[in-house]
Structure 1
Amino acid sequence: MRGMSPLAFLKVDAMRFAITLSDRFKPVLDVFMQAGWEPLKMFCTPVDHKMHHHKASVAFAEQRKLPLQLSPMRPHDLEELADMGCEALLVASYNWRIPDWTPHLKYAVNFHPSPLPLGRGPYPQVRALLEGRREWGVSCHKVGPEFDTGDILAQEIFPLGEADSHQMLDFKLQLALHRLSHQVANQFQRLWGEAWPQGEGGSYWPLWTDQDRVLDFKRTTAELLRQLRAFGDFECAATINNVTIFIHRAEGWVESHGFAAGAVIYSQSEQLLVATADGMLLISEWSLYGPDAVTGRGRR
């Protein structure tokens, strides 16, 4: 078109938007802004500083003087967004249900940390590691009446290694989220129009229970190490000599022995060597108090 800068075509999908956010999903905000999208408001939920953080997100809202809401989103909030000229709602981590947005906004999408329709639910990463998945991913889908069920705009799939930890998966997810956000932000209209249904065979993964974090020393060393890697900083619990401890770091190996599973073979400087079904588990960092996200008590 005569008289139009070539750069104008790069902003064809840019819109005014609101976003729900925690720090793990901040790449979504950063990438969309780089693509020329204009933020109007941010929604955050209370955080536990283990599973979710929002320090960086809140700081960004304060620096940009963006309206920030920490209470649940209500229909009147969506009405106010429409009055502000908001076109799209980006959901990037949010513990509360989104009200029906369709009377007020043109678009609403959610960024979910799983290769949907597999792994719907609040925090599927732990189970992905527990099950030894060899690949994982992030998805962007339309926000529907039910959690994590809307049509999919795009996905980013990546490999998982046998020894990947919770922390490694977390960073792989953030890198994939950056790539996915770039794709969606710059091709939003096309991807929205070409979104495909999730179809049958989806699965909902509820949040784990305290029992899921308990180590059973009658299991193999490899199984115990996988459990420890999967929970990471959420920590696993174990009862040793009738005392429950919370384990932050441990190593292990396979070795033939005649000890009963769970027996303490050696202890030194708070390190515990415990017999497993087929070897040894060396517990090097542990506490009598679990992480805040699970027990509500701090570490000692």
Structure 2
Amino acid sequence: MRFAIATADRYMGVFEAFVNAGWEPVKLFTVPLDNVVNHNQAVMSYATQLKMEVQLSRITSQDLLDLQARDCDILVIASYNWRVPDWRPYLRHAVNFHPSPLPEGRGPYPFHRVILEGRQRWGVSCHRLEHAFDSGDILADRHFPLTDEDCHESLSLRTQIAMRDLARQVASDFTSLWEQASPQGDEGSYWEKLPDSEWLLKFDQPVAEVLCRIRAFGQHECIAHLNNVMMFVRRAVGWTELHVHPAGTVVYTNGRNVVVAVEDGYIGIVEWSLIARNQVVQLGR
């Protein structure tokens, strides 16, 4: 079939899976990204190699009409920040690849919460695209176990691999999976974006909880307030140890390493900045 896709580099594997399965690509939709934390250069380059049109603006009904005129059969969504108009007047099919085991974890970006809650299993899903986010009938899904060592980056990479494998399955048996798609039902959950307070390191907590929060945000960075300075923290180490320092006290520094007292030990902040990574591109660095 002929397909258009809306995606970013994180799910390049979905894009490649449909092409490698013999589907004919028509157009790539993506969104403007900073290419510091989030990237789309690889999918744009791949589309150029395939001689596809690339669009960085929001998908409109006119765009869907244009896809219809090009005999496009299906719109594939895998990481797209904007709501898509009703596709049914124009296309035969539209699906979304979502990074959660639906109906659990509907919403824009579940990874941080997965780590914060200590989930033992996670997964990915492919569902029919509906107006309500992440609510459509499920064509197929995949699940995998998590460990206490998983972090934002490991979960993201494991999800990308699972999404690639799921896309291979869907692309190779699409008609059957579409016809047999299962309703999600009334159960499940929608996860909003975490509020700013969840990004803040709380040094009055135990070592394990502070490190869990840092693992949960990873390259997206937690925020720490130390000595009246706001720091963006990407990586830290920690250990339990009896001490008499008030929580939040900086007890040692060496170069860029900063050791902070917490409830039951110390946190060593080893990778941080005074400028958030998503702001770097705005400063021309």
Q: TM-score range, shorter-chain basis?
A: over 0.9
Select 1:286's aligned residue among 261, 269, 272: 272
| Aligned: 1:188 with 2:164 | no
**1:260-283: per-residue Cα shift (whole Å, max 9, x none)?**
111111111121111111111011
The answer to whether the Cα contact below 8 Å between 1:50 and 1:233 also exists between their aligned partners in 2 is no
Q: Note closer, same or farther for the CA distance 1:165–1:209 as it changes in structure 2 (3 Å cut).
A: same
The answer to whether the Cα contact below 8 Å between 2:37 and 2:277 also exists between their aligned partners in 1 is no
The answer to whether the Cα contact below 8 Å between 1:289 and 1:299 also exists between their aligned partners in 2 is no
SS at match of 1:163: coil
Distance (whole Å) between structure 2 residues aligned to residue 298 and residue 272 of structure 1: 26
Once the 2 structures are TM-superposed, how far is the Cα of residue 208 of structure 1 from its aligned partner?
2.3
Q: Note closer, same or farther for the CA distance 1:299–1:130 as it changes in structure 2 (3 Å cut).
A: farther
Q: Note closer, same or farther for the CA distance 1:198–1:51 as it changes in structure 2 (3 Å cut).
A: farther
SS at match of 1:284: strand
Aligned pairs, number = 285
SS at match of 2:34: coil
SS at match of 2:31: coil
| Aligned: 1:154 with 2:135 | no
SS at match of 1:153: strand
| Aligned: 1:58 with 2:44 | yes
> Which 10-residue stretch deviates more, 162-171 or 43-52?
43-52
2:9 alignment counterpart: 23
Which residues of 2 match residues 252-271 of structure 1 at below 5 A? 252-271=238-257
Structure 1: any 5+ residue segments left out of the alignment?
A: 1-14
The answer to whether the Cα contact below 8 Å between 1:290 and 1:299 also exists between their aligned partners in 2 is no
2:217 alignment counterpart: 231
Select 2:23's aligned residue among 14, 19, 37: 37
1:96 alignment counterpart: 82
Distance (whole Å) between structure 2 residues aligned to residue 240 and residue 154 of structure 1: 47
**1:110-131: per-residue Cα shift (whole Å, max 9, x none)?**
0001111111111111111111
Distance (whole Å) between structure 2 residues aligned to residue 221 and residue 206 of structure 1: 27
Which residues of 2 match residues 125-140 of structure 1 at below 5 A? 125-140=111-126
The answer to whether the Cα contact below 8 Å between 2:259 and 2:269 also exists between their aligned partners in 1 is yes
| Aligned: 1:46 with 2:32 | yes
**1:80-136: per-residue Cα shift (whole Å, max 9, x none)?**
111111111101111111111111111000000111111111111111111111111
Q: Which amino acid aligns with 1:172?
A: R
Q: What is the root-mean-square deviation in Å for CA atoms of aligned residues? A: 1.6
**1:186-237: per-residue Cα shift (whole Å, max 9, x none)?**
1111111111111122211122233211101001110110100110111111
2:72 alignment counterpart: 86
Q: Note closer, same or farther for the CA distance 1:298–1:245 as it changes in structure 2 (3 Å cut).
A: farther
Q: Note closer, same or farther for the CA distance 1:69–1:129 as it changes in structure 2 (3 Å cut).
A: same
SS at match of 1:267: strand
1:144 alignment counterpart: 130
**1:138-187: per-residue Cα shift (whole Å, max 9, x none)?**
10000011111000000010111101111111110111011101110111
Q: Note closer, same or farther for the CA distance 1:272–1:258 as it changes in structure 2 (3 Å cut).
A: same
Distance (whole Å) between structure 2 residues aligned to residue 50 and residue 132 of structure 1: 27
| Aligned: 1:123 with 2:109 | yes
Select 2:196's aligned residue among 206, 210, 213: 210
SS at match of 1:176: helix
2:62 alignment counterpart: 76
Q: Which amino acid aligns with 1:226?
A: C
2:164 alignment counterpart: 178
After TM superposition, where is structure 1 displaced by more than 6 Å over at least 4 residues in a row? none
Select 2:206's aligned residue among 217, 220, 233: 220
Distance (whole Å) between structure 1 residues aligned to residue 119 and residue 283 of structure 2: 32
| Aligned: 1:165 with 2:151 | yes
The answer to whether the Cα contact below 8 Å between 2:140 and 2:170 also exists between their aligned partners in 1 is yes
Distance (whole Å) between structure 2 residues aligned to residue 297 and residue 224 of structure 1: 30
1:272 alignment counterpart: 258
Q: Which amino acid aligns with 1:38?
A: E
Distance (whole Å) between structure 2 residues aligned to residue 203 and residue 50 of structure 1: 30
Specify the structure having the higher radius of gyration (Cα).
Answer: 1
